[in-house]
Amino acid sequence: MRRFYGDIVRIAFGLVVLVDAFFKWNPAFSANFSSFISTQGQPAFTLGWFNFWISLVSINPKFLAFLIALIETLLGLSLVFGFARKLSYFLGGIFFFIIWSVAEGFGGPYTALSTDVGAAVIYVFVLSCLALIDYYAGESKLTLDYYISKKVQWWHFIG
C-alpha cells in the first residue's frame, strides 16, 4: 500500500509540473524571459552568479525560454508515466535548483516583507522525497520503468 501512495504522489506532482510547463508555453513567458533574472535586492556576494546568468540569457532568451518549457514538459510526463524516474529525479532536482537560484533569486530579495523562499526549492525537496520513496518502497507496477526493466536489463540504473 505504501508503494501505491508513493505512485499517487509522483503522478500528482507530475501533473503540477505539467501545469507549470503549460504556462511556460505561453508566448508572454518567452517575450518577458529576460526580465525574470535580476540582481535587484540580492546580496553583493551573489552578483557574479546573477551576472553570469543575465549574460547567458541575453544571448538567446527565446531559445532558453523554449528549452525551459520543454524540460518542464518532459519532466512532468516522466513523473506521470514513471519513465526514467531515477534520472528524472536527479536532473529535475538540478533543474529546479537552478530555477530557484536564478529566476527566484534564492527565494529573495530578503526583506521584512518576504513571505516565502520560492516554489522551486520545494520542487527539489519533493523530487528528493520521491527518490527516497522509490528506494524504500521498492518496485512499482504503475510505471513504464517496471515494464522496460523486464526487457532491458540495465534499465534499473535509470528507472
Residue 77 reports pLDDT greater than 80:
yes
Which residue range forms the structural domain that includes residue 89?
Answer: 2-157
- Which position has the higher pLDDT, 36 or 13? 13
pLDDT reading at 140 higher than 70: yes
Given pLDDT bands bounded at 50, 70 and 90, which one contains residue 108? low
Identify the band that residue 114 occupies on the pLDDT scale cut at 50, 70 and 90. low
Q: Radius of gyration (Cα) for the chain, nearest Å?
A: 18
Query: How many domains does the chain fold into?
Result: 1
> What was the pLDDT predicted at 106?
79
Helical (H) or strand (E) element with 63: helix 61-81
107 in Cβ contact with 118 (< 8 Å) = yes
Angle at 35 between CA 92 and CA 14, to 5 degrees: 25
pLDDT value at residue 145: 94
| pLDDT for the residue 75 | 98
| pLDDT confidence band for 132 (50 / 70 / 90) | very high
What pLDDT score does 38 carry?
77
pTM above 0.85, yes or no: yes
CA-CA distance, 65 to 79, in Å (whole number)? Answer: 21
Percent of the chain at pLDDT > 70 equals 93
Predicted local confidence at residue 152, as pLDDT? 94
Mean pLDDT, range 99-115, rounded to an integer:
74
